[in-house]
């Protein structure tokens, strides 16, 4: 919110996040109104780019369904911040960080 970085989203990413926020495991920690507020904020505050479905990737995830996130980050020339192990294993080859590592990066 303070402009230290810009969030980048795409339609696929927003749909995946909305689905994930409805999972019982997350619903137990994040109330529906909070989840709705996050989604509304992302829809109005993040940089929206189209889904880069045909972007040629030099690195691919073990989980092909996650490759669109690599393509999104590459298209936007952005860091990918995730807790997904399949993506984090690529951190030496691509600019991928855990949320805590990203926060530490912002503090430096």
Predicted local confidence at residue 52, as pLDDT = 86
CA atoms within 13 A on the CB side of 84: 17
Distance CA 74, CA 71 (A): 5
Q: How many CB atoms lie within 10 A of CB 82?
A: 19
Beta strands in the chain (DSSP E): 8-9, 47-48, 80-81, 96-97
Q: Is residue 14's pLDDT more than 80?
A: yes
Cβ proximity of 75 and 54 under 8 Å: no
Predicted local confidence at residue 35, as pLDDT = 96
Distance CA 60, CA 52 (A): 14
Find the mean pLDDT for residues 91-106. 94
Predicted local confidence at residue 55, as pLDDT = 66
Q: How many CB atoms lie within 10 A of CB 30?
A: 17
Predicted local confidence at residue 43, as pLDDT = 96
Q: Give pLDDT tens digits for 19-75.
A: 999 999 999 999 999 999 999 999 999 999 999 877 677 778 889 888 889 999 998
pTM (predicted TM-score): 0.84
Predicted local confidence at residue 3, as pLDDT = 80
Q: Give pLDDT tens digits for 79-95.
A: 999 999 999 999 998 89
């Amino acid at each position: 919110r303070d402009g230290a970085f810009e969030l980048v989203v795409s339609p696929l990413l927003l749909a995946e996040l909305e689905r994930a926020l409805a999972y019982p495991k997350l619903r137990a920690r994040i109330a529906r109104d909070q989840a709705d507020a996050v989604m509304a904020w992302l829809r109005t505050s993040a940089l929206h780019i189209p889904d880069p479905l045909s972007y040629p990737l030099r690195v691919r995830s073990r989980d092909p369904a996650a490759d669109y996130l690599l393509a999104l980050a590459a298209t936007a020339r952005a860091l990918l911040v995730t807790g997904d192990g399949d993506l984090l294993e690529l951190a030496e080859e691509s600019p991928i960080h855990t949320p805590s590592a990203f926060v530490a990066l912002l503090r430096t």
